[in-house]
Structure 1
Amino acid sequence: MSGYRDLLRTPGVGRIIAAQLAARFPGGMVALAVLLHVEHTHHSYGAAGTVLAAVSIGQAVAGPVTSRWMGRWGMRRVLALTTLVTSAAIAALALVPAPLPVTILFGLIAGLASPPVQSAVRTIYPKMVNASQLTALYSLDASLQEIIWIAGPVLITFVSTQISTVVGLVMIVGFTIAGGTWFILSPELGRVRIPRSRRSFGRVLRGPTVVLTTVLGFLLIGACAAAEAGVVASFGEGAVESGFILAVFAVGSFVGGLAFGNLPMSPWSMARRYAIIAVGMGLTLVSLDAWWLGGSLVIAGLGIAPVLAMSFAITSASVKFSETAEAYGWINTGQLIGAALGSAIAGFMIDGIGPRGAMMTALGFIVLGLIVAIVCVRGFPDLRGRDASPIPDTEPVQTLP
């Protein structure tokens, strides 16, 4: 822990971590808030699912695009514009009575305008700390983001069910503007400028590491989404057991991120971390008893934040600084698609064979990820004895004859 204390003593690190967590906090509430509000206003879970799908599609499409824009127009401009537009769209969802097609359009706009906070902050990190501290910073970031997924759903569920779904969405608008403003005004955003990429959009995917981390992120988050659906189906949406088990799942990830954060990353580290998750997910098939399921998911959780941290670190070390934001945008898109697909497959499995089918889905995603990590091990850079700083951008320098 001394390494993390030293890290947080670095000027600006604690502030930027807190600001980006505040800016991203609405991400842990939007899906549930939209689902509850649309079902309440249109009296249809099908309609709610359609609007939520529009939000997710918008986020997936926008991720690499808005991230790349930050190199062209600057981080503050892009973040300010997207924060205002997504806030307006969510406010319209809450306050404007509209037919379903218009509601779907509001959801799509809210998704397309999602501020690329993750891409921005992970691009800033290499400019804030010593190279030797960078992997620990990525691990700390991956661990602390679990706060979003523990507190966000609890808060929005309470507000939307006990007060009003409109109040829930308006609260999200308030968090989006307040957290976004704090992050946008952070001094680090003014000190760091992302160079404009000289390569065409999407060329960053020609690098094997970016493709691997995008695919592995897709499989990891798909597994998590399937497991969450299985937990809810096992005990019911409002059951205390469901909330407890999902909370300890996140706590396991938090602990794992801190525990593995300072360990050197070899090409085999990704496979080892996936193996930990696979063991935990495999144990869930033994029993759906609350205590057994909670213990199994704690084990699985120990590998989640370490996988994400390694993905951020090896991506940073494999691309030019001007391309890091777009690369993280693609990774985020992969995760969003994984969440949607994992939930959908798990839903069909639950309808077919019950909650155990969702856990089988989660295990299938993770085993596939483990196979990819083993087969493609040569595609991962060896960060032992090497920092995770991005490749510097170089350009011709004019000299006098």
Structure 2
Amino acid sequence: MAGYRDLLRTPGVGRIIAAQLTARFPSGMTSLALLMHIEHVTGTYGAAGLVLAAASVGQAVSGPITSRWMGRWGMRRVLTLTMVVCAIALAGIGLFTLSISAYMALGLVSGLSTPPVQSAVRTIYPKMVNSRQLTPLFSLDASLQEIIWILAPVVITLVATQISTVVGIMLIVVILLAGGSWFILSPELGRVRIPRSRHRFGLVLARPAVLLATVMGFLLIGACAAVEAGVIATFGEGGLEAGLVLAIFSIGSLAGGLVSGGIAIGRWAMARRMAVVAGGLVVTTLSLSVWWLSGSLLVAGIGVAPALAVMFAMTTASVKFSDTAEAFGWVGTGQLIGAAAGSAIAGFLIDGSGPRGAYLTAAAFAVVGLIVAVLCVRGFPDLRFRDAAPMPDTEPVRTITST
């Protein structure tokens, strides 16, 4: 933990981590809030599912595009524009009674305009710390994001059920604007300018490490989404056990990420970490008791944040600085599609064979991820003897002193 203390003493690191976590906090609230609000207004979960699907499609499409825009127009301009548009779209959903098609249109706009905070912060990390601190920083980032998934659903559920779904959505708008503004106004965003990429859009996926990170993100987050569906189906949406088990899953991930921060990332790092996830998820299929699921998901969770840290580090280390934001946009899109696929497949199997089908889905995603990591091990960069900093661009990166 001494390494993390030194890391957080680095000027600006603690502030930028706190700001980006606050800016991203709505990501753990929006889907649940939209689900509850649209169901409350229309009386049907089918309509809510359509709105959620539209928002998810928007996010998946926009991730690489808005991330690439940051190299053309600057991080602050893109983040400000997307933040304002997203806030207006969400406020429209919350404040007005509309047709389902209108709700879907606003959901799509909110997804398309989701601020690319993850791409921005993971692009500027290499400019904030020395090469020795970069891998621990990615591990800390991957671990602390679990706070979002532990606290955000609890907060939005309490507000939406105890006050109103409209207040819940407007709370998201307030946090989006406040957290986003804090992040946008952070001095670090003014000190780093992303050079405009010289490559055509999408070419970054030709990098084996970026493609692998995208695929692994699809499989890992697909497994996590199936777990969430399975836990809710097992204990019910309002069951105390569901929240407890999912919190334990996230706590395992938080602990695993913090412990793995000082471990060097070699070619086999992803395979080892996915083996932990896969092993834990395979064991979940043996029993659906609360204690068994808590223990097995604690084990599985230990590998989640460390695997995400590998994805972040390998992505950064494999591209030029000007391509980093777009690369992270594609990795994020892979995770979004994985979440949708994992939830959908788990849902069909729950309907057909009960909650155990969701855990079988999660285990299958994780096992396939392990197999991919083993078969493609040569495509993962060996970062044991080098840092995870991006490759330099041919033109120097302009550093702007903030005022």
TM-score over 0.5 (shorter chain): yes
CA distance, structure 2, for counterparts of residue 369 and residue 115 of structure 1: 28
Q: Which residue identity does 2:147 align to in structure 1?
A: I
Write the distance in 1 (CA, Å) between the matches of 2:235 and 2:32: 18
What is the Cα deviation at residue 286 of structure 1? 1.4
Shift of 1:199: 0.4
What RMSD in Å do the two structures reach over aligned CA positions? 0.7
Question: How far has the Cα of 1:11 moved from its partner?
Answer: 0.4
**CA offset digits 1:230-284 (Å, max 9, x no partner):** 1111111100100000000000000000111110111011000000001100110
Post-superposition offset of 1:395:
4.0
- Match of residue 190 from structure 2: 190
2:115 partner amino acid: P
3-state SS of paired residue (2:49):
helix
- The match for 1:234 is 234
d(CA) in 1 for partners of 2:395 and 2:65? Answer: 24
Q: Displacement, 1:162?
A: 1.0
Letter paired with 1:223 = A
Q: Equivalences for 1:264-275 in 2 at 5 Å?
A: 264-275=264-275
1:73-222 matched pairs, under 5 angstroms? 73-222=73-222
In the alignment, what sits opposite 2:400? none
Within-5 A mapping of 1:2-21: 2-21=2-21
- Letter of the aligned partner of 1:248 in structure 2? I
Aligned positions of 1:1-400 closer than 5 A? 1-395=1-395
Structure 1: gaps spanning 5 or more residues: 397-401
Partner Cα distance (1:45, 1:278) in 2? 32
- Deviation at residue 385 of structure 1 after TM alignment: 1.7
The aligned length equals: 396
SS class of match (1:19): helix
Query: Amino acid of the residue matched to residue 243 of structure 1?
Result: G
1:107-142 C-alpha deviation (Å, 9 max, x unpaired): 000000000000000000000001010000000000
Quick one: percent identity of the two aligned structures?
67
CA distance in 2, matches of 1:278, 1:101: 40
How far, CA to CA, are the matches of 2:94 and 2:285 in structure 1? 40
Deviation at 1:381, TM superposition (A): 0.6
Cα distance between partner residues in 1 of 2:266 and 2:323: 23
* Alpha-carbon shift at residue 357 of structure 1 (Å): 0.6
| Aligned-partner Cα distance in 2 for 1:221–1:381 | 21
CA offset at residue 323 of structure 1? 0.3
What is the rounded CA distance, in whole Å, between the counterparts of 1:199 and 1:289 in structure 2?
A: 52
| Distance in 1 between residues matched to 2:386 and 2:3, nearest whole Å | 17
SS of equivalent to 2:79? helix
Cα distance per residue 1:318-370 (max 9 Å; x no partner):
00000000000000000000001100000011111111110000000000000
Moved over 4 A (4+): none
Unaligned runs of 5+ in 2: 397-403
Query: Whole-Å Cα distance in 1 between the matches of residues 278 and 59 of structure 2?
Result: 28
Q: Distance in 1 between matches of 2:42 and 2:395?
A: 56
Matched AA of 2:22? A
Match in the other structure for 1:399: none
Deviation at 1:97, TM superposition (A): 1.3
